[in-house]
């Protein structure tokens, strides 16, 4: 059984006296992607995540690998083309985590089908060889056949197009494991608290604090990359106290309903909500994920709180398109994420801000900051940032290796059946674990499909350290059913304490902290 070992990583970090080639701060899509890229080029790379991998925005997305039909409407053809190519590569490299998905835009006005139909033909053309399927006009009868729960009153027909869907947090864990396999050293619960400088003021390393023990470690490096998403400005301020902020944070909320609200393999796409955004209602595992919003916010935290108006807005919009309206009480979970949007001039509207990524190199310290973009383009962002880092750090030039690099779990013969399929090649090891120890094949709760074996696996191989790590990101239980997850905390805590060698105080404290956190995902 191989995997990620936090203690071994920390031992390596303490013993590493020479400068690392690249130090990455932040273990979301951007930082993990950069770690995979750098390690696969043979660079000596270390990554520090202050909380858990994908604890920030990267576990809170709409879970689409997409070109962005909306950006096409805005005329941003190059962004769409790049994202469509990345979509194709990701499906190729991580087929256990990415799949194609049909989206139906229902039309209730005579002009809608031809209007969206033409736009989507352009989308098909831009995808070229990476296309997932051709878009098509659908009759009213066909739309109802595809989505039996769709509102039929006034329905004229629709347009179907294809895009990609994925499991964001699981992809992050698989990227972390890929990075380790490629030779990177990575740890969670190690926050960077300071940037070390040489006498000329050039960034030459970081100070990290082990969140579990409080130990402070000085880590030397040739290049420091700040990949902290919405928190990029806070880390830039560790480097230069008076820098102008570049991130305009905006919050996006999703609600999760029972899958019976979308008893279909197709998603619904609403191209223009009352606030001018796109809204998706997506079948995902055994649930339906609906969102999102775009609300400018002032405070950046790792657990952003959905506003009541955001939940009402999503429900109201979704209910216009469903025959059986959903009520607040039927929401199984609600989650919010913060977009790390890069400031563009003086626009007040965050939906008009750049979705492209930005790389900044501080003129005094040389610290690099990479911010913006989206999950879909994480690989390209990583390629760009490591290209720049290798020049800055005067590293031996090596071309990017990740275009066709398989992501951990990839297997030639894809296991499409069964609920462990997202583990890819690890699924058989988890099954063996469940078969070896009595009780481990049982689920952690009557309303959750996660097995006890997966909790053990998460601790042994996937660097899970808290109940939240297991229930929110190793399994997605917290998003599937927040109340059931809260109820399972005791059992999960007990299983983890055996694996991590923790005492009863640890278990009690973990249960308390997790139940408090889960409350934020439950609609009272
Ligand atoms: C509502 C919403 C929906 C979205 N939907 C999609 C979608 O469907 N498809 C798509 O492609 N993209 C989508 N995106 C965009 C995508 O999720 C983000 O672009 C991406 O996850 C950003 O990743 P990141 O690594 O830059 O930031 P994050 O995931 O936030 O990672 C930054 C990490 O840095 C860590 N950190 C911060 N400070 C420190 C420190 N001092 N020391 C160590 N670590 C630190 C944080 O803990 C965090 O884990 C969506 C975004 C939102 C908000």
Predicted confidence (pLDDT) at residue 119 exceeds the cutoff of 60: yes
CB of residue 151 inside a 6 A radius of ligand 1: no
pLDDT over 70, % of the chain: 97
Instruction: Write down the pLDDT at residue 274.
Output: 80
The torsion of the CA quartet 189, 467, 514, 282, rounded to 10 degrees, works out to: 100
Across the chain, mean pLDDT equals 93
Compute, in angstroms, the gap from residue 229 CA to the centroid of ligand 1: 5
Q: Which residue has the higher pLDDT, 272 or 26?
A: 26
Cβ atoms < 10 Å from Cβ of 170: 24
Compute, in angstroms, the gap from residue 366 CA to the centroid of ligand 1: 23
Q: Which residues contact 269 (CB under 8 A, 6 or more apart)?
A: 69, 103, 104, 105, 278, 279, 280
CB of residue 486 inside a 6 A radius of ligand 1: no
Instruction: Write down the pLDDT at residue 349.
Output: 45
Q: Which atom of ligand 1 is nearest to the CA of 292?
A: 1
Predicted confidence (pLDDT) at residue 117 exceeds the cutoff of 90: no
Rounded mean pLDDT, 282-288: 97
Compute, in angstroms, the gap from residue 143 CA to the centroid of ligand 1: 34
Q: What is the pLDDT of residues 54-80, one digit of tens each?
A: 999 999 999 999 987 777 777 777 888
DSSP E strand stretches across 350-504 = 357-361, 368-372, 443-445, 448-451
Instruction: Write down the pLDDT at residue 352.
Output: 45
* pLDDT band (50, 70, 90) for residue 1: low
Rounded mean pLDDT, 201-219: 98
Tell me how far apart the terminal alpha carbons of the chain are, to the nearest angstrom. Answer: 42
Task: Return the residue matching tokens 């005579």.
Answer: 110
Cβ atoms < 10 Å from Cβ of 472: 26
Give the mutation target among 37, 61, 189 for probing the ligand 1 site: most ligand atoms within 8 A of CB. Answer: 61
CB of residue 292 inside a 6 A radius of ligand 1: yes
Q: Note if the pTM is more than 0.85.
A: yes
CB of residue 374 inside a 6 A radius of ligand 1: yes
For atom 50 of ligand 1, which residue has the closest CA?
A: 61
Task: Return the residue matching tokens 């990479």.
Answer: 370
Instruction: Write down the pLDDT at residue 347.
Output: 41
For atom 26 of ligand 1, which residue has the closest CA?
A: 229
Give the mutation target among 32, 58, 233, 293 for probing the ligand 1 site: most ligand atoms within 8 A of CB. Answer: 58
Buried b (16+ CB within 10 A) or exposed e, 98-116: bbebbbbbbbeeeebbeeb
Q: What is the pLDDT of residues 327-362, one digit of tens each?
A: 999 999 999 999 998 886 544 445 444 558 899 999
Q: What is the pLDDT of residues 89-116, one digit of tens each?
A: 999 999 999 999 999 999 998 777 777 7
* pLDDT band (50, 70, 90) for residue 223: very high
Backbone angles phi, psi at 136, to 5 degrees: -155, 145
Distance CA 417, CA 340 (A): 36
For atom 15 of ligand 1, which residue has the closest CA?
A: 374
Q: Which atom of ligand 1 is nearest to the CA of 238?
A: 41
Distance CA 114, CA 68 (A): 19
Cβ atoms < 10 Å from Cβ of 362: 19
Instruction: Write down the pLDDT at residue 485.
Output: 98
């Amino acid at each position: 059984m191989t995997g990620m070992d936090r203690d071994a990583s920390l031992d390596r970090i303490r013993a590493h006296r020479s400068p690392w080639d690249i130090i990455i701060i932040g273990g979301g899509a951007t930082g993990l992607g950069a770690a995979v890229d750098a390690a696969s080029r043979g660079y000596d790379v270390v990554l520090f995540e202050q909380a858990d991998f994908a604890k920030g925005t990267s576990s809170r997305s709409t879970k689409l690998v997409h070109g962005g039909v909306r950006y096409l409407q805005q005329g941003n053809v190059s962004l769409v083309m790049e994202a469509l190519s990345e979509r194709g590569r990701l499906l190729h490299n991580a087929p256990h985590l990415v799949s194609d998905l049909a989206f139906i835009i229902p039309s209730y006005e005579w002009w809608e089908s031809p209007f969206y139909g033409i736009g989507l033909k352009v989308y098909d053309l831009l995808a070229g060889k990476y296309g997932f399927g051709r878009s098509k006009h659908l009759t009213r009868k066909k739309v109802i056949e595809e989505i039996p729960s769709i509102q039929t009153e006034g329905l004229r027909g629709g347009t179907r197009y294809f895009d990609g869907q994925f499991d964001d947090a699981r992809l992050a864990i698989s990227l972390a494991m890929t990075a380790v396999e490629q030779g990177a050293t990575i740890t969670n619960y190690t926050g960077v608290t300071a940037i070390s400088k040489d006498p000329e003021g050039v960034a030459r390393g970081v100070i990290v604090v082990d969140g579990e023990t409080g130990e402070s470690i000085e880590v030397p490096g040739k290049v420091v990359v700040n990949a902290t998403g919405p928190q990029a400005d806070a880390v830039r301020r560790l480097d230069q106290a008076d820098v102008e902020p570049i991130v305009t944070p905006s919050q996006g909320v999703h609600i999760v309903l029972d899958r019976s609200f979308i008893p279909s393999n197709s998603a619904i796409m609403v191209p223009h909500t009352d606030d001018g955004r796109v809204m998706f209602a997506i079948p995902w595992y055994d649930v339906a994920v609906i969102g999102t919003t775009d609300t400018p916010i002032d405070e950046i935290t790792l657990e952003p709180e959905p506003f009541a108006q955001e939940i009402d807005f999503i429900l109201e919009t979704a209910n216009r398109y469903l025959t059986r309206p959903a009520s607040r009480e039927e929401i199984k979970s609600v989650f919010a994420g913060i977009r790390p949007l890069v400031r563009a001039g003086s626009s007040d509207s965050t939906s008009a801000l750049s979705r492209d990524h930005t790389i900044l190199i501080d003129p005094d310290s040389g610290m690099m900051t990479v911010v913006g973009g989206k999950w879909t383009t994480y690989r390209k962002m990583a390629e760009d940032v490591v290209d720049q880092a290798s020049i800055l750090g005067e590293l031996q030039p090596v071309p990017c290796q990740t275009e066709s690099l398989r992501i951990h779990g990839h297997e030639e013969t894809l296991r499409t059946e069964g609920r462990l399929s997202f583990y890819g090649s690890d699924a058989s090891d988890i099954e063996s674990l469940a078969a070896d120890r009595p009780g481990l094949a049982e689920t952690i709760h009557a309303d959750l499909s996660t097995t006890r074996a997966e909790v053990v696996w998460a601790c042994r191989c996937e660097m899970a350290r808290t109940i939240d790590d297991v229930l929110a990101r190793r399994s997605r239980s917290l998003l599937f059913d927040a109340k059931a997850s809260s109820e399972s905390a005791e059992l999960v805590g007990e299983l983890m304490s055996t694996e991590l060698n923790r005492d009863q105080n640890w278990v009690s404290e973990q249960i308390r902290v997790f139940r408090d956190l889960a409350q934020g995902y439950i609609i009272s």
